[in-house]
Amino acid sequence: MIALTARALLTPLERIEQALLLIEDGLIAEVSSRSTRELPANCHHIDLGDALMIPGFIDIHIHGGNGHDVMEASPDALPSIETLIARHGVTSYCPTTITSGEDKLLAAVERLADAIEASDTEGGKQKTSPRAQPIGVHLEGPFISHARRGVHPPQNILRPTLALFDRFWQAARGHIRVLTIAPEVEGAQEVIAEAVRRDVCVSLGHSDADLTAARSGLAAGARHATHTFNAMRPLNHRDPGILGLVLTDPRVTADIIADGIHLDPIMVEMFMRLKGIDLAVLITDAISATGMPDGRYKLGSLEVEVRAGRCTTDGRLAGSVLTIDRAVRNLMQFAKVDLVPAVRAATANPAKVLRMEKKRGTLQPGAVADITVLNSDNEVIRTIVNGFC
């Protein structure tokens, strides 16, 4: 048994001072305070001193990092990405595809399924340094709007059909956790309903939907929104469109890229005021350039130029170099919120989106021992994945 002690702990719904957390077989066995509980006999004690323990961050939208893309065939790609993001407190993530040729996309999701199953089989055991674990594929495209495609290649955008969705599902062997889709495109309603039947979180995004079409997507079972404001029909006071629904409907969780580039800080503040502490999710949309110097990098098959933190191709934003720990601190600054809602937006809330809230995004008995350790400046000083300390 491993015993961790620290100044405090966020579950993140509750704060516990003089925290004591016990780990057994990769799971949290107990969470308590040293003011009421002594260290168990014969445990391996790790004192984290003046630090704060929080649940491990969960990034449900990430394309790459450390010079690698999640769609690469290289066996070094995912381990390199996972090592980088673990240093920034991420313990689990959804490797996210970009619209590509059908064969390339099928091959990519099959490789990602291999990685997810290998991670499950190994029980999260880490040989050298902690690595974030892939917990499900996020299929971003090809079922998106041409009008709001962003940098997704137009020639590879496909009309959603049940047969095509099933082809991706079979290649992923059931490991698709999130599907971003534009609800207004022909065939979307049927695919949304089928994806929901298979327990996929359907997320509205890359969409030019008016309010009626957005409501149709919600009626079919969609319940989340992808990088809110970006690649969406703009909000208009006489034509609220998809954003009018996303920002006001309490049935919809929504994520944002809080890097100060994709959204002005005042928009982040407005988003938090409208969605509140329970429905807001932080993502990075990070690409292969994350953790790397300025230069040219890949996003799927696209070449992206990175300068001063801005990622562009043909003048359009193409992902980010944001890390989730930075997103948490940015949210605190931009939206003028304290640490608790910011941590929830990167832990409990994405876990709820994935319907994994009992096992991830929380520090409670029975949950996976995924823990991020912060110093007094809310910087990551240690990451524990599946109890690997």
Q: Is residue 13 situated within a structural domain?
A: no
What residues have CB less than 8 Å from 111, skipping those under 6 apart? 73
Phi, psi of 134 (to 5 degrees): -75, 130
Q: Which amino acid is at 169?
A: W
Q: What is the pLDDT of residue 111?
A: 98
Q: What is the pLDDT of residue 123?
A: 52
Residues forming beta bridges with residue 385, ordered by sequence position: 388
> What domain range is 329 assigned to?
57-358
Q: Is residue 237 situated within a structural domain?
A: yes
Q: Is residue 315 situated within a structural domain?
A: yes
Round to whole Å and give the CA distance between 337 and 12: 15
| Structure token pair of residue 108 | 């990519």
The string of DSSP codes covering 285-302 is -B-TTTTS-SEEEEETTE
Round to whole Å and give the CA distance between 98 and 141: 6
Q: Is residue 41 situated within a structural domain?
A: no
pLDDT, one tens digit for every residue, the chain (389 residues) = 999 999 999 999 999 999 999 999 999 999 999 999 999 999 999 999 999 999 999 999 999 999 999 999 999 999 999 999 999 999 999 999 999 999 999 999 999 999 999 987 655 455 578 999 999 999 998 999 999 999 999 999 999 999 999 999 999 999 999 999 999 999 999 999 999 999 999 999 999 999 999 999 999 999 999 999 999 999 999 999 999 999 999 999 999 999 999 999 999 999 999 999 999 999 999 999 999 999 999 999 899 999 999 999 999 999 999 999 999 999 999 999 999 999 999 999 999 999 999 999 999 999 999 999 999 999 999 999 999 98
Round to whole Å and give the CA distance between 185 and 321: 30
Round to whole Å and give the CA distance between 72 and 238: 44
Beta sheet of 295-299, edge-to-edge order? 295-299, 302-307, 310-313, 316-317
Q: Name the strand (E) or helix (H) holding 213.
A: helix 211-220
Q: Is residue 36 situated within a structural domain?
A: no
Instruction: Please say whether the beta carbons of 115 and 104 come within 8 A.
Output: no
Q: What is the pLDDT of residue 126?
A: 54
Q: Which is nearest to 387 in space by CA: 53, 124, 95?
A: 124
Q: Is residue 289 situated within a structural domain?
A: yes
Please give the tally of structural domains in the chain: 1
Q: Is residue 389 situated within a structural domain?
A: no
CATH number, domain containing residue 70 = 3.20.20.140
Residue from 210, 255, 259, 285 carrying the catalytic annotation? 285
Give catalytic status of residue 285 as yes or no. Answer: yes
Helix/strand number for the chain, H first, E second? 10, 22
Q: Is residue 1 situated within a structural domain?
A: no
Instruction: Please say whether the beta carbons of 312 and 305 come within 8 A.
Output: yes
